[in-house]
């Protein structure tokens, strides 16, 4: 970032016309615009792309269609990866419209362009609700998304290259006339509502905002008069401050990436079982995701990776890998359901280890598992008082199958006393706050998915169900080539991050 013509400062703008128009007043010999990400709330930029089909043909401008499509797809993170800018200019003006929460766990920003062509009503009908800017709910989930964005920026060494541009909305224009409202907000109201958001971003960046003491709106702006369409004098002042800040950033030492406290894979003993585990802790105050794994003794000896090794939670949570202890107690056992050994039941032993390392309070934990590990994750979430479990093809109905009785008997003979820790999940007593289940079931194996859905249906119909009936969700998918296949890592990550948002919001109420 020397400012020489041969090496201009590659700049990514994330925000509204406030940033874009300010950029137009920067020296073109020094700054190069490499990407403009507009009309995106952080919530929609971080969430999965919406599956809602929205007709963009009424938008006559190709730029508008590209901008709206980028917002619906949430292309901010991909743009950061591709552009690798020298400088990011960020303003939050477009947060003022709030977001729609969709049933597919995505968020859609309410956009001016969609209002103009009458598409907002369709989005509103398809959504669960509109979450308004400035409400406590919006602020809670927005700050959670900010944390994830800051972690991604840190991982890309871009956190120190990000500038917050935040001139207050102008109460008067250059004719001394009061500026009009935008989405029901006057300039004073918007400035009050935005203040905690701006303070939060300043804290994340470790840098004060770039602002203006007394801006005026331009009555003759090409975009029309608005509290955030400023006079040229305002833009020139902001541009001078950005230039100075960019020079300071170029001379500063980058802040090191956030580091994990990593406890490598190891065995811990509880009773007479040896539990293989790995803890990756970022902060004791953050939520923890506990992924139940199913490596056999032979796989452990060969150094096999955890199945969910590639999970990328953007620093939003601590991550714990916990292996089914039954599988490492006898080399002949290929599936164990956490039964443990003849002396010590496996699931209580796993819970004991979790409490020993993480503490007794499970209200900040999410359990994840597939197949037999899904059965373990379901039981641990109930026993630990966790708010949620995310399960794929969970083997909840294994005890009622006809064919596998011999397999169960073999597990009894090798690992566990008959009757040890074989609780039917439907008979487990409900805790004070039963967890929500989010379940993904592959329909390509009829016996498997019929059994799973039958058990879940029983849980949802019970008067004293051990799971939260109102918030439990069932998703089915089909993979005919692999009847026991689970969902993709990307879909699992999206589900975990959405659950983390809900957990943070619930804890702040």
> Over the chain, what is the mean pLDDT?
84
Place of tokens 């073999």: 410
Q: Which residues contact 330 (CB under 8 A, 6 or more apart)?
A: 297, 414, 415
Per-residue tokens: 204: 């994340």
pLDDT, position 9: 93
Place of tokens 């390392």: 357
pLDDT, position 163: 95
Q: Which residues contact 478 (CB under 8 A, 6 or more apart)?
A: 442, 443, 444
Give the 3-state secondary structure of 398-463.
HHHCCCCHHHHHHHHHHHCCCCCCCCCHHHCCCCCCCCEEEEEEECCCHHHHHHHHHHHHHHHHCC
| Strand segments (E) across 182-287 | 261-270, 273-281
pLDDT, position 481: 83
Per-residue tokens: 262: 């990593």
pLDDT, position 398: 66
Place of tokens 């020397």: 2
Q: Are 381 and 389 in contact (CB under 8 A)?
A: yes
Give pLDDT < 50 ranges for the chain.
1-6, 256-259, 402-404, 418-419, 509
pTM above 0.75, yes or no: no
**DSSP character for 285?**
T
Residues 90, 80: Cα–Cα separation, whole Å: 13
Per-residue tokens: 94: 């477009």
Per-residue tokens: 385: 């008082």
Q: Are 343 and 333 in contact (CB under 8 A)?
A: no
Per-residue tokens: 22: 């300010």
Domains, the chain, ordered by start: 5-251 (3.40.50), 261-508 (3.40.50.1820)
pLDDT, position 5: 42
Residues 155, 314: Cα–Cα separation, whole Å: 9
pLDDT, one tens digit per residue, over 429-465 is: 777 689 999 999 998 877 777 888 888 988 899 888 8
Residues 160, 1: Cα–Cα separation, whole Å: 13
- Grouping H, G, I as helix, E, B as strand and the rest as coil, residue 32 is strand
């Amino acid at each position: 970032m020397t400012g020489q013509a041969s090496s201009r400062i590659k700049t990514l703008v994330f925000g509204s016309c406030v940033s874009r128009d300010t950029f137009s007043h920067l020296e073109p010999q020094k700054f190069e615009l490499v990407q403009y990400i507009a009309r995106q709330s952080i919530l929609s930029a971080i969430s999965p792309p919406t599956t809602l089909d929205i007709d963009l043909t009424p938008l006559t401008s190709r730029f508008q269609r590209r901008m709206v499509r980028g917002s619906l797809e949430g292309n901010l993170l991909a743009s950061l990866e591709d552009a690798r800018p020298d400088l990011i200019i960020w303003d939050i003006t477009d947060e003022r419209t709030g977001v729609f929460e969709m049933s597919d766990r995505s968020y859609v920003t309410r956009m001016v362009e969609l209002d103009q062509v009458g598409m907002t009503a369709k989005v509103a009908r398809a959504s669960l609700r509109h979450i308004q800017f400035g409400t406590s709910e919006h602020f809670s989930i927005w700050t959670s998304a900010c944390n994830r964005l800051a972690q991604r920026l840190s991982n890309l060494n871009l956190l120190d290259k990000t500038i917050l541009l935040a001139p207050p909305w102008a109460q008067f224009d250059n004719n001394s006339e009061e500026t009009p409202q935008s989405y029901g907000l006057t300039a004073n109201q918007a400035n009050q509502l935005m203040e905690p958001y701006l303070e939060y971003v300043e804290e994340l960046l470790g840098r004060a905002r770039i602002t203006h003491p007394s801006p005026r709106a331009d009555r003759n702006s090409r975009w029309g008069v608005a509290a955030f369409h400023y006079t040229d004098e305002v833009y020139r002042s902001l541009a001078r401050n950005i230039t100075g800040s960019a020079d300071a950033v170029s001379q500063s030492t980058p802040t090191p990436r956030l580091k994990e406290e990593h406890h490598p894979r190891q065995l811990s003993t509880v009773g007479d079982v040896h539990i293989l585990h790995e803890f990756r802790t970022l902060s004791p105050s953050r939520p923890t995701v506990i992924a139940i794994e199913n490596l056999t003794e032979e796989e452990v000896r060969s150094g096999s990776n955890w199945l969910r090794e590639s999970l990328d939670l953007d620093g939003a949570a601590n991550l714990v890998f916990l292996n089914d202890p039954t599988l490492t107690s006898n080399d002949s056992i290929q599936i164990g359901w956490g039964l443990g050994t003849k002396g010590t039941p496996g699931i209580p032993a796993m819970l004991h280890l979790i409490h020993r390392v993480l503490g007794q309070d499970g209200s900040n934990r999410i359990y994840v598992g597939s197949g037999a590990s899904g059965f373990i994750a379901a039981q641990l979430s109930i026993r630990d008082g966790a708010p949620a479990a995310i399960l794929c093809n969970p083997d909840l109905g294994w005890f009622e199958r006809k064919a596998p009785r011999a397999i169960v008997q073999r597990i009894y003979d090798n690992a566990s006393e008959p009757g040890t820790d074989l609780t039917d999940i439907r008979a487990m007593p409900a805790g004070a706050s039963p967890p929500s289940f989010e379940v993904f079931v592959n329909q390509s194996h009829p016996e498997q998915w019929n059994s799973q859905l039958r058990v879940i249906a029983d849980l949802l119909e019970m008067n004293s169900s051990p799971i939260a009936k109102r918030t439990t969700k069932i998703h089915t998918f089909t993979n005919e080539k692999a009847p026991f296949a689970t969902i993709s890592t990307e879909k699992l990550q999206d589900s975990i991050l959405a659950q983390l948002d809900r957990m943070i919001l619930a804890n702040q109420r």
